[in-house]
Structure formats: structure tokens, C-alpha cells
A and B are shown apart, each in its own frame.
Chain A
């Protein structure tokens, strides 16, 4: 199904390569992708989700500050009336090589629905997104 999703790299992060490939992969998978590119603020993610009536926000963070940058995104979504929006995060989310379990717990506690370890194949998330959004 042609779900609308918002995609972007959060914070002061400029890693663009993965973003371009994710955009391509999600488009190939049939999603309508609103790609905000790199260096995206929480406000821009929320704004774009409202404007495009997206059902999901896919956040990348590669550079390590993901932990600081992603805090509060869920709350901002709720404030903006996006109670049910799905939040996904992936990339190299924290500083340093860290057991993924710890990272996952941290981001789930922040209100993300799914969290992915470094280098996850975009296909994995396509299947997840399809499953999650079908039930909405």
C-alpha cells in the first residue's frame, strides 16, 4: 500500500549517503516518501508529518548524538496531535560501539516504536512498516 512516511537525518548530522539510499529503497517499496534530507530538527519532522498526513516518521542518526537529538520527539508529536504516529529510529544511534540491547531499551523508553542496529538493511524496515501501518 502507498503509505506516506517522513524520512530524515536528525540534529546536526550530515550523513547523506544512507538517507539517499533509504529514500530510493522506500520509494521502490511503494511508499510515498517525504524526504527532509540531513540536519532535520524535531520541529521539522513534526511539521512535515502534519502537512503530509504521514503515518510514520523514520529517523536516522549516524553521528552519535542521536541520544540527545531524539529525546522529546514523541512528546512533540503528542503535543501536535499526532498521538498514533509510528516512530522508527536507525543508524549509529549512540556514541561508540554499544551492545544493541542497551540502545534499543533507551530509544523504546523515549517513545520509539522500533529501533534498528547499525547497517540494518532497509528491506527489514519496509516489512515492519507495512505490518505496523496495516493495523492502523
Chain B
């Protein structure tokens, strides 16, 4: 294995860079020195880092949609609408799937067809095809910071273009944008490619331009236990910090049980902070983002608003810095501008109402936090051990060994041995722990929690339970109960 968690040598970076910029003609438009000047010329209200710092200090919760369409004018119109009507505090540009897989030719075709047909045939904004100038037009058309949200295993060219284009936050990471988002790409490859992205952001930081980095918390979005996503977030934060990133927002996808979700957000921040400090990264700015439920949604719009509101309430009780908002069209398709704004307004209403209420530290909450901390630490510490102190190496070995394992992931570099299911109050537990390095005590805890539910429903703990839970929220429940215990 030829990888090390070490800051990329600048000469080496510049050499790689020459090739990266050749991937698509718009790469030629990127000039780093000129990009620094452009970023410095942007007003403070377009800076993600400043906005996050302000929200954290003043304890309000930022709301952000997902949104992206093919044509530039339509995309600008969409973002302005979400800002003005939807009252979004910060904006995204969600990148289309062809761009995510560097299929720029297909993205170009989709873009051209979209313009002809007057509707988007792409599921996002093809930023690389629009180039630096297109991105700048976009950034200069809105009043709030804009983030690149995607799912790109190799995001080097995308980062070059969008950062030069004035975006001030970049989502993803070498694990979180590989394992849930690809099939055949090795972790060694993506971790290396993301070191490049982080190094690039480090170069901006060196110029005094703070770019926010957000590891993608929810992973597969489907019943992911908190310790799994926490471990990934911590590893990606450590990798980013080594390359010079200073501003990190760690993420988590809502599970649905309030205590577990609040415990997750609180421990996510404290654990990330403490691992970074332990490893010598002391000048970091850490914030959190909670994603409203990321699994299957109900098709009925009124029911979807229920899920959205619960996500908003949970983010508020937990005290997350930012919440990523779903729309009432979630189960059906990419939302219209109006539907997207409605999800935002629903969320704004709830987080504003709950602005002054945070969940107090009860015994129950403490107990849940302790479980998450123990599990997360046992995974991350094991990764360090496997890497003989090097977290990049340890992570690759760890995935091979299944000591870190993501449920339902498409990647063949993921073991796929673990299975999650909900306990009798809807918290997500491990039905199969696979090769996770948990203590016998923790394993017994999970087994007992699921046994409790099985006994209540008079069924066995098996794969059908997992399937029922995958469908549950879409069918109007949290727990995929058998016939007993249903609320009609």
C-alpha cells in the first residue's frame, strides 16, 4: 500500500494538478493566483465559514436545501427562489450524477438537451461543464454562501473549478463519497484523490481564505448506526486537517429516535474535537450538520411534511449548527422549486419556534451518549492500530477487515456484514455486528435491545425485521412492527 496520511508535497501536488485540469476543457480556465484574488474580493456574507461561526456563537440553526438543475439560468433562478421565498440561510449546488462520475461528455449532452427541452434532464448542476465563469455568475447572483454538494469519488477537477468559481464550502470525503457512491473504486484511490482536494483547500486557507469542509455524514442514508457515521466523520476530519483544512462541519443523518439523535449530534462534535486535538490539530473550527431523515420517504406530501418537521425539531433539540432539509416530493422525484421551498419554510418555522429549547442532559441521554462514544472510539482506535499509527492506512485495512462497515453500501470495498434494525423505541441497533471491534458488553447490549422488541412483537430477530424497518417511515411508522403494537 503506497499511501500515508501526510501533507502532500507542494511540487507533487502541482504535478498532479497539471493532469487534473486536462480532464475537461474548462479546466484551462482555472488559475490559482487569480482564484485567490477573486475569493478575497467576495463579500463576507458569501463566506460559509463566517456564517457557520456566527450561527454557532449565537445559537441559531441554519437551514439549507439540496438543489441543482442543468441549465445555468434555471439554476440561478432556483437558488434565488430558495433564498428569497424558501428563506434558506445558505445554498447548495447539488451536482448531477454524470459529473460525479466524471462523465463530462454525457453531462454535456444532458445539459444541451435540457436547454432544448426547457426542463432538466440531469439530476443536478453540471458545474464542471459550466466552468469557472459560469460558477462565478451563479455566486454573484445570490446573497448567501453556496456549497458544492455532490457524491463524487474523484472530485479534484470539480473542486478546482468550483472553488475558483467562488463556492466557499465543499462536501464529501474519500470514504463518505466512495463507499455509498461507487462500486469498483478502491479506497486507496479515493483517499488519495481527496487528499488532493483537502490540500487545495489548505492552499486557500494559507491565503487567509477559509473554505468550509463537510464530510458526508449520512452515508447510505438507510439505518446507519451513529457510531459508524461518526467513525467515518472523524477519520475524514483527521485526513482533511493534515492537508491544511481548518473549518470542518461534521454530519449525521437523523435516525428518528430523539434521544439517540441528540446523543449523536452532541458526541459527534465532542469526539471530533477531541480526536483532532489529540493528534495535534488545535486551531480547528468544528460545527455540526444534521440531515433530516435520509432513507425512504412517504409518498403522500402531508406525511412527508411530518417527517420533515420531526427532523427540524430534532435538529433544534440537539443544537446542530445546520440542518439539511428534505422536500415533500422526496419519495417521488427531484422537487420542483416550490416544493423545495415548502420543505424549507416548514423547517424554518419549527427551528425558529424551538430556538430557545435544547434537550437537557438527562440520565437517558447520558447513557446513549456513552454507548455511542464507546463504539466510536473502539472503531477509530482499532483503525489507528491497524495502520500502525497511520489513519489512512488503518482505514483501508479496516474496511478490508470489516472493523468498519457501512450497511447497504454498493462498494465492493465494503465488507457488508453488519445489519441494523430498530429497537423497541426506534433507536437503531446492530442486528449483526459483523467484524466491528465491539466489546462483549456492547454486543450484548444490542442483542438485548432487539430481543426486547422481538418479544414485544412476538417475532424473531431476523432479516425480515431489517426489511420492515427499511420500509417503515415510507409507510407512516418509525419501527417496522409486525402486526402487534401498531398505531392504526
Contacts and interface: CB of A to CB of B under 8 A. Distances in A.
Interface of A: 11-14, 16-17, 20-21, 24, 37-39, 63-65, 67-68, 92, 94-98, 118-119
Contacts of A95: 119-123, 333-334
Contacts of B184: 39
B432 to A, nearest CB: 14
A12 to B, nearest CB: 5
Contacts of B121: 65, 67-68, 95
B408 A17 contact: yes
Contacts of A13: 97
B222 A119 contact: no
Q: Report which residue of B120, B181, B183, B295 has the largest number of chain A beta carbons within 10 angstroms of its beta carbon.
A: B183
B410 interface: yes
22 contacts: A12-B98, A12-B101, A12-B103, A17-B220, A20-B408, A24-B467, A39-B183, A64-B123, A67-B121, A68-B109, A68-B110, A94-B333, A95-B122, A95-B334, A96-B119, A96-B334, A96-B335, A97-B329, A97-B332, A118-B332, A119-B299, A119-B331
Interface of B: 97-98, 100-101, 103, 106, 109-110, 119-123, 151, 180-184, 220, 222, 295-296, 299, 329, 331-336, 339, 408-410, 463, 467, 470, 474
Nearest to B464: A24
Contact of B410 (A14, A24, A64, A68): A14
Contacts of A14: 151, 180-183, 410
A17 B473 CA distance: 15
Q: Report which residue of B182, B295, B333 has the largest number of chain A beta carbons within 10 angstroms of its beta carbon.
A: B333
* Interface of B, helix, strand, loop or mixed by DSSP: loop
B434 to A, nearest CB: 15
A58 B384 CA distance: 43
A96 B463 contact: no
Contacts of B408: 16-17, 20
B431 to A, nearest CB: 15
Contacts of B335: 96-97
Contacts of A68: 106, 109-110, 121
Contacts of A97: 329, 332-333, 335-336, 339
B246 to A, nearest CB: 31
B97 A98 contact: no
A119 B329 CA distance: 13
A126 to B, nearest CB: 15
A53 to B, nearest CB: 25
Nearest to A20: B408
A26 to B, nearest CB: 13
